[in-house]
Chains A and B, each alone.
Chain A
Amino acid sequence: MYVAVKGGERAIDNAHAWLAEERRGDTAVAELSVAQIREQLKLAVNRVMAEGSLYDADLAALAIKQSRGDLIEAIFLIRAYRTTLPRFGASVPVATDDMACDRRVSATFKDAPGGQVLGPTFDYTHRLLDFKLAAEGKAPQAPEARAETASTPHIMSFLDREGLVQQEDASDATPPDLTREPLELPADRALRLQSLTRGDEGFVLGMAYSTQRGYARNHAFVAELRIGTVPVEMEIPELGFAIEIGDIEVTECETVNQFKGSKTEPPQFTRGYGLVFGMSERKAISMALVDRALRWKELGEDNVGAPAQDEEFVLYHADNIQATGFLEHIKLPHYVDFQSELELIRKLRREAMPTQEAAE
């Protein structure tokens, strides 16, 4: 005698209650506050803001707490929240020239106006576990100096002046919005950059790395990598001019790439561009490399069939929220489809077996 299985609703409620308990962990250990995550896991917060496409450190920290440190889950929470927010308008483009830089390095010039600033970097640290951090210690203090007051023009602008770098066409056109219109191909550069900046860091890194290893190789020099805060301004129709509405921290990377010239372009350097919320250096450099690889058509280069040159491949697979949702959906019930396959394979085998036996 068989009684049909029921109980989906109760199973869900109990699973979620268990999840909440597990999230808190051992109650003998102090609970993590959102502020602690915001201040002490800042790079995780930055990644969630960048890939969640929402600049709000407190919400990102809350999402990280809620997701138990699963950053893709945290990004998902932020994205789902973001879509419910009304649009007031768009800012004027941020002027990264005026960035208050915490970090600014160039791999192409030993020195340049504004100087090189290492900033709070992991570079040149020896990756040795610091057991002192396991013990609670005093707050470390770094030496301080007066901030540079000199302006920090983009290093690319020096090459620009000599006409050695391919010129970008200025445009006042409103860029397309990936979150409000369906992605349709071919995509222009603005749309590609939009997709890359919110794309999965691991995916964009892997794509960028593949170009370095010869799949559409286009050797990149980091002309400039800068991290700092920029003011965000918005035009208020009633006022008739732009006012500052806040500051955001961004990472910007410009690469200068070898280029021999083509049928349509004289020999010159070309560029790749990356701009990411927060301190997200690996992502910004990766983005610049992938941006450059995707520009083969406009620069009159050959398509060598490399994955990083294929805009459909890159744009359709860069989004980790789309990817993880679809990947994980295969754990949902598929009884019906599996059953139909089962029937089919039994039928095909029934028909194939007698033939085989006869052949033997």
Chain B
Amino acid sequence: MTEYNFAYLDEQTKRMIRRAILKGLAIPGYQVPFASREMPMPYGWGTGGVQVSAAVLIPDDTFKVIDQGADDTTNAVSIRRFFEKTAGVAVTEATRQATVIQTRHRIPEEALTENQILVYQVPIPEPLRFLEPSEVETRKMHSLEEYGLMHVKLYEDISKHGAIATAYAYPVKVEGRYVMDPSPIPKFDNPKLEMAAIQIFGAGREQRIYALPPYTQVVSLDFDDYPFEASKADHACDVCGAEDSYLDELIVDDKGGRLFMCSDTDFCSSRRREGHVGAQGIPYGEDAA
């Protein structure tokens, strides 16, 4: 590896990103503008997360990448390979062994520890964006703590649908101050946002970084009479039998046959290794994979 600097970005750029990360950690939930670089993968495909990972990785790290909870999704494979090539770090699929985990759309099922960093890929960092398209306006709303519009939107949902009609990227309030977009994780994952690990959110195209230090208070927005509810499919995993994990729904035949399985592939295979078998699963070691 002589062609590129460790983890691709030059040291000056990494310093600039680290400054943004530190500022983000100092003001939890606040979106810090940073001079996002053009990366060799497209905007919208994880360039923010990749830049954050590049800035926090050290040679001793063990790196894991998941997309939709799975290590084997194509874009996760692509990002993992990028860092294998440019940083030469060890990689793993085991949540427990990883020191840095880059994710898109999920938080691992297994609780993370103080020795881990979770890096999120963020498409639209601004929780108020679809209520107010102008960045100039939304930044003003954050600085004035003017979140009335968001509460009106949630209220309108209830009056129209009888429930808050947001299933993912469900807005949260951080330490009673900033309203934050947790990235498009399903709201099932929202309670996990209060965790022991450092969480850093990178939005490359939108040039924003924000962060949650360990054990930060993160409250999903709701009303007293319509409390937040973390929901998932009302099934158990058909492969490993887990009843408490977030499930993907698969169409398995042309008669509308459905199958549910854990979206977190490491969680599912670990359970199978331990001997758990779901309704349609095969005992561990007896399948071709």
A343→B39 CA distance, assembly (Å): 36
0/1 string, A1-16, CB within 8 A of B gives 1: 1111011110110000
Contact B37 A83 (CB under 8 A): yes
Residues from chain B with Cβ under 8 Å of A2 in the complex: 238-239, 250, 252, 259, 261, 280-282
* A-B contacts at CB below 8 angstroms, number: 156
B263 A347 Cβ-Cβ under 8 A: no
A114-122, A276-284, A334-342: which one contacts chain B?
A334-342
Q: How far is the CA of A4 from the CA of B271 in the complex (A)?
A: 14
Interface 9-residue window, one of B162-170, B174-182, B216-224: B162-170
A339 contacts B249, CB within 8 Å? yes
Which residue of B233, B263, B287 is within 8 Å of A343 (Cβ)? B233
Given the complex of chains A and B, what is the CA–CA distance between A341 and B73 in angstroms? 21
Contact: B44 with A337, CB < 8 Å?
Answer: no
CA distance A12 to B36 in the complex (A): 27
B39 touches A80 (CB 8 A): yes
- B3 nearest CB neighbor, chain A only: A84
Task: Please indicate which of the listed interface residues A86, A316, A352 has the most CB atoms of chain B within 10 Å of its own CB.
Answer: A316
In the complex, what distance in Å separates the CA atom of A333 from the CA atom of B71? 13
A2-B259, A76-B42, A334-B105 known; A326+B205 contact, CB < 8 A:
yes
B113 sits at the interface (CB 8 A): no
Residue of B nearest to A311 (CB): B136
B200 within 8 A of A: no
Interface centre among A181, A322, A324, A340 (most CB of B within 10 A): A340
Q: Chain A residue with minimal CB distance to B287?
A: A3
**A26-34, A182-190, A241-249 - the one binding chain B:** A182-190
Binary contact readout B125-144 vs A (1 if CB under 8 angstroms, 0 otherwise): 00000000011100000000
In the docked arrangement, what's the CA distance between A4 and B93, Å?
A: 15
- When chains A and B are docked, how far (Å) is the Cα of A342 from the Cα of B259? 14
On whether the beta carbons of A326 and B123 are closer than 8 Å, the reply is yes
Contacts of B163 in A (CB 8 A): 344, 347-348, 351
How far is B49's CA from A329's CA once the two chains are assembled, in angstroms?
14
Q: Is B247 an interface residue (CB 8 A)?
A: yes
- CB < 8 Å: which of A76, A179, A332, A348 contacts B165? A348
Asked if B282 and A1 make an inter-chain contact with CB atoms under 8 angstroms apart, the answer reads yes
The 8 Å CB contact of A336, one of B34, B207, B263, B265, is B263
Asked if residues B289 and A3 are in contact (CB atoms below 8 Å), the reply is yes
CA distance A340 to B136 in the complex (A): 31
Contacts of A123 in B (CB 8 A): none
Q: Does B40 contact A (CB under 8 A)?
A: yes
Is B35 a contact of A9 with CB atoms below 8 Å? Answer: no
Question: Is the pair B233, A329 in contact by a Cβ cutoff of 8 Å?
Answer: no
Q: Which of B43, B136, B239 lies in contact with A325, CB distance below 8 A?
A: B43
Number of interface residues of A (CB under 8 A): 51
Decide if B45 is an interface residue (CB 8 Å cutoff): yes
Please give the distance in Å from A137's CB to the nearest CB on chain B: 41
A329 touches B261 (CB 8 A): no
- Report how far A79 CA is from B38 CA in the complex, Å: 6
Q: Does B232 sit at the interface, judged by CB under 8 A?
A: yes
Main secondary structure of the interface of A (DSSP, over half): helix
Answer yes or no: A161 CB below 8 A from chain B CBs: no
CB distance from A303 to the nearest CB of B (A): 13
Cα A340 to Cα B230 with chains together (Å)? 10
B167 and chain A: residue at smallest CB distance: A340
User: At the interface, yes or no: A328 with Cβ under 8 Å from chain B?
Assistant: yes
A339 to B35: give the CA distance in the assembly, Å: 34
Which residue in chain A gives the minimum CB-CB distance to B232? A343
Q: Are B78 and A340 in contact (CB under 8 A)?
A: no
Determine, out of B55-63, B94-102, B147-155, B184-192, the stretch whose residues face the partner at the interface: B184-192
What's the least CB distance linking B171 to chain A, in Å?
Answer: 14
Q: Is B246 an interface residue (CB 8 A)?
A: yes
A9 & B205 in contact (Cβ 8 Å cutoff): no
Are A182 and B36 in touch, CB under 8 angstroms?
yes
Contacts of B105 in A (CB 8 A): 334, 336-337
- Please pick, from A3, A7, A335, A351, the residue contacting B263 in the complex, using a CB distance under 8 A: A335
Interface flag for B194 (CB, 8 Å): no
CA gap between A8 and B75 in the complex, in Å:
9
Per a CB cutoff under 8 Å, which of A183, A186, A336 touches B186? Answer: A336
A184-B33 in contact (CB<8A) = yes
Which residues in A have their C-beta under 8 angstroms from that of B74? 8, 11-12, 333
CB of A98 closer than 8 Å to a CB of B:
no
A204 CB within 8 Å of chain B: no
Tell me the bound Cα distance from A352 to B37 in angstroms: 47
Whether, in the assembled complex, A321 has its beta carbon less than 8 Å from a beta carbon of chain B, the answer is yes
Known: A12-B78, A321-B43. A6 touches B4 (CB 8 A): no
The residue in chain A whose Cβ has the minimal distance to the Cβ of B187 is A340
A82 at the binding interface (Cβ < 8 Å): yes
Answer whether residue B255 sits at the interface, using C-beta atoms and an 8 A cutoff.
Answer: no
List, sorted by A's number, 14 A–B pairs whose CB atoms are closer than 8 Å: A2-B238, A2-B239, A3-B282, A3-B287, A3-B289, A4-B265, A80-B38, A179-B35, A328-B42, A336-B185, A336-B263, A340-B168, A341-B167, A343-B232
Known: A332-B104, A336-B246; 10 extra A-B contacts, CB below 8 A, are A8-B76, A179-B35, A182-B34, A312-B134, A321-B43, A326-B43, A333-B73, A337-B169, A340-B187, A341-B168
Rank and list the top 4 A-B pairs by shortest CB-CB distance, nearest first.
A325-B43, A329-B44, A325-B42, A340-B167
